[in-house]
Structure 1
């Protein structure tokens, strides 16, 4: 309950100014962390505990940090803590508790880990978040009503993001050493093939608007993830003509994809692709159009404002490497922040 109240307070702090609201929200957050620490101490001492309840609490705290736009990377600590409970949930008997809750929690964790980063060079320990059993474990819950609540139709695309982050991290090490390895080139090409060969699901003409929006959203994710892959592989060579050509090809396919209504539920998961695509826009008109779309959403929270601010900083920066996801990392370091999209 303290986690729920902390989350509600984080939302209210956006619309209700005043020290009282911030203090109340912080108090519930502190109480939740204190109680969670007590529970984890019991678990470490060998006592039995409910991993569903613990994971739910940590993910509520993660979401609180996310919508509050904590700039110091606190959410990464919560997500690493969450990863320890995923194997326990997957090992539970299918008849233990509510399958729908387990399906939702595991998919929520997988989604938050997948979109945690908008750059591969701000969090050197990011690979510690990757948990392959979690990704494969999603298959067993595909018949649950909660399946797809976070991923929509783009699950097979989104679950590639942790691997892309690892590739980008490896390429950063290689770039510093002045070399390319055959293994990473092959990894890059294999990931590119998986993304480019992905096909959106077929829908009928009488499909509702929500279904159509989910299909369009998955197409946006496809191009944004391709951009993320290319920029991860090229690293600091943001001005490479070949890279710019690859990015422009993807950008041209997304220009007509942002016609969602302001009330469309799918907008709740579109912030990550907006940041990736926005970081690569070079024309002022396109930048302002995307900026307006991000600000007009009904999902009013600090995270959206901070994300727009980060894009503004990037667009205003005259440094040669201030472009794309790599540039987002540069700008974050300049301003001393660690911005997460989870």
Structure 2
């Protein structure tokens, strides 16, 4: 409960930044949560039960959300996430052991939230920013084992196959560009091209349209990440930009109509990837407006606009795309987190 109240306070402080009562109350709830976690984690016997392990893991994931919503750019959100990983691995090795149906549903929820956070924070080549580095465990590349646990789709909204490819592209982007990577590039591009939107259960035409547009934007973001990672990419390379620009045009055209939909909650990863590749001023303005004026009203979306603006103004030719985001965060000591 203290973690949830701290997170609520983090949201309130975005709208009421000068309210000292909310500030102090939020800090108290956060401190109480951390102290309780230290006590629980210090007593190994407490975590012998699956439900206790699930609750502690979920609490740490809530603290990650608190750090991001509060605008902390010092890497502290990712420290929480690395701690959560150890518990997640423990859960994956033990969750078959006498879990009730309710516990399995909570396990599926926790696993999907953790997977979503790790994948949507993969906005640079792997290990480019030390404080932000998260390990890509093999289960992040296939989430189908969560489908029968009762909570599947709560985070990915039917787009898990799109997000599963993010870690592979991030790892590909981190490879030595002097190596022959053509075959791996070809395979990744083929996988992206083969992605299909799942057949929706709902019949609501508006919902179906929002889902299709969102997943198409995710596909374009995957392609943009891959294309800018395949070899050193300069934003002044007009030939390669002409190849990339038609994809960006489609994405920017779709984004404003997705924002009011139920699927806007999974837009931050594609927005950061696509936004980092934009050269047209009018398209940059669309992205900035979406990040500064949206229904969520959170500090981290404002920070995303700030980060992209710094990238767009940087004269370095390599200050472009996911690599450019990593370069910029290193230069300015900004360990930006996404939720």
The TM-score, its normalising length taken from structure 1, stands at 0.88
Report deviation, 1:3: 0.9
Q: Answer yes or no: is the 8 Å Cα contact 2:73–2:334 preserved in 1.
A: yes
Report deviation, 1:204: 9.4
SS at match of 1:321: coil
- Paired residue for 2:95, among 92, 96, 102? 92
Alignment pair present for 1:280 and 2:277: yes
Q: Answer yes or no: is the 8 Å Cα contact 1:87–1:134 preserved in 2.
A: no
Alignment pair present for 1:129 and 2:135: yes
Report deviation, 1:134: 5.1
Distance 1:190 1:28, change over 3 A: same
Alignment pair present for 1:147 and 2:152: yes
Counterpart in the other structure of 2:216: 219
Tell me how far apart the structure 2 counterparts of residues 280 and 216 of structure 1 sit (CA, whole Å). Answer: 19
Counterpart in the other structure of 1:13: 13
Unaligned regions of 5+ residues in structure 2, if any?
none
Report deviation, 1:52: 0.5
Distance 1:202 1:254, change over 3 A: same
Q: Answer yes or no: is the 8 Å Cα contact 1:69–1:306 preserved in 2.
A: yes
- Paired residue for 1:119, among 119, 124, 129? 124
RMSD: 2.5
Mapping of 1:1-342 within 5 angstroms? 1-16=1-16, 17-43=18-44, 48-49=48-49, 50-90=52-92, 91-93=94-96, 95-96=99-100, 97-120=102-125, 122-124=128-130, 128-133=134-139, 135-136=141-142, 138-169=143-174, 171=175, 174-175=176-177, 180-182=178-180, 184-202=181-199, 206-235=203-232, 237-240=234-237, 243-260=240-257, 263-342=260-339
Tell me how far apart the structure 2 counterparts of residues 267 and 68 of structure 1 sit (CA, whole Å). Answer: 21
Distance 1:139 1:123, change over 3 A: same
Distance 1:224 1:262, change over 3 A: closer
Q: Per-residue displacement from partner, 1:164-191 (whole Å, max 9, x unpaired)?
A: 222222x2xx25xxxx223x44332221
Distance 1:205 1:14, change over 3 A: closer
Tell me how far apart the structure 1 counterparts of residues 116 and 240 of structure 2 sit (CA, whole Å). Answer: 27
Distance 1:125 1:287, change over 3 A: closer
Distance 1:295 1:145, change over 3 A: farther
Tell me how far apart the structure 1 counterparts of residues 160 and 19 of structure 2 sit (CA, whole Å). Answer: 40
The TM-score, its normalising length taken from structure 2, stands at 0.88
Report deviation, 1:144: 4.4
Q: Answer yes or no: is the 8 Å Cα contact 2:131–2:335 preserved in 1.
A: no
Distance 1:207 1:221, change over 3 A: same
Distance 1:188 1:211, change over 3 A: same
Stretch moving more, 216-225 or 13-22: 13-22
Q: Per-residue displacement from partner, 1:249-276 (whole Å, max 9, x unpaired)?
A: 4213324312436542211221221111
Tell me how far apart the structure 2 counterparts of residues 252 and 205 of structure 1 sit (CA, whole Å). Answer: 29
